[in-house]
Structure 1
Amino acid sequence: MNINIDIDFGNLWEALSAIGTIGAVIVSLWLARKDGKKKFQVVLKTTIGMRNDNSIDETPYLSIDAVNKSNIPLTIEEVGFINKRDGKKVTVTNQNFLIDGSNRLPTKTESYSLAMFVFNQEQLFKELQKKWPQGKKIRAYVRDSSGKHHFSKHYKI
């Protein structure tokens, strides 16, 4: 018994066209998913203040700037500091640590807008050094309403 199967792959241009169509669908799905991601850019930095009379306030402040880089409004529900090596974190639950002019928790941020949380650096470091020794590297974080954490770069206390 002799079985002969002829397979016709069509021409090369039809195959390339099919591959291109599949590639276009994959890219469009990836772009659609990318636009819907919830993303904050978190920056932890030292700042100085200005008084109402435009004089410089020499008190050092620590600022967490969270920029909503997604296309939808997001709500920040939690702000804090974490050491990713040991997993310990300090959540800012006491609004008294925040100076006047800072955003309060929870705070809604529109698309591509900034939420700023400013702390008195000396008071905050005293509180953080109860959990971590001086010279430890920490990160600031914000948690959005979906439960996702967004982190800053390392900062040495």
Structure 2
Amino acid sequence: MYMTTVEETTFREHKKPEIYGRYIDDIFVTIKETDVARKLSDVLKRNSLLNFTTEHSQQKTLPFLDVLVKQQGQFKTTVYTKVTNAGRCLNARGECPDAYKKSVVSAYVNTHHIVKRHRLHNELDRIRQLLTNNDYGDQTIETATEKKENRRILRIQHDDEKR
């Protein structure tokens, strides 16, 4: 809610960029002119208590959250893992509700939707290994993977029926 108010105030003062996306307090925007980007950043800072930082693409590539965004005429995405990522997540043997553990598995499995089909197998292998290293069982991982795949197939079938 807070960021919505910040955005409303900001875009009364500054033109909203053509491509603008936000997840909580992380903002993805494309602006060609450096001075326009700096002005937008200044207006956001002035209208908020948050500390805004900016990152610029390098060779038309920019990591945003867990996604590596490449601009090649259109945007191409793949999973992004920081170099500092040690491959740790909530351990399956940790003392917390099972629902939390289930959501960890689901979150990892659900990230594979941004991967091109020819890289999907490698990404699922990486996810399986990460979860196995954090003591999640094969059955738990496969159940989540199958559930996601079944939903994808149903969505494709539904889209085909619409045509």
Fold conserved (TM > 0.5)? no
From the two aligned structures, give the one with the greater strand fraction: 1
- Report the TM-score when normalising by structure 2: 0.21
From the two aligned structures, give the one with the greater helix fraction: 2
Greater Rg by CA: 1
- Report the TM-score when normalising by structure 1: 0.21
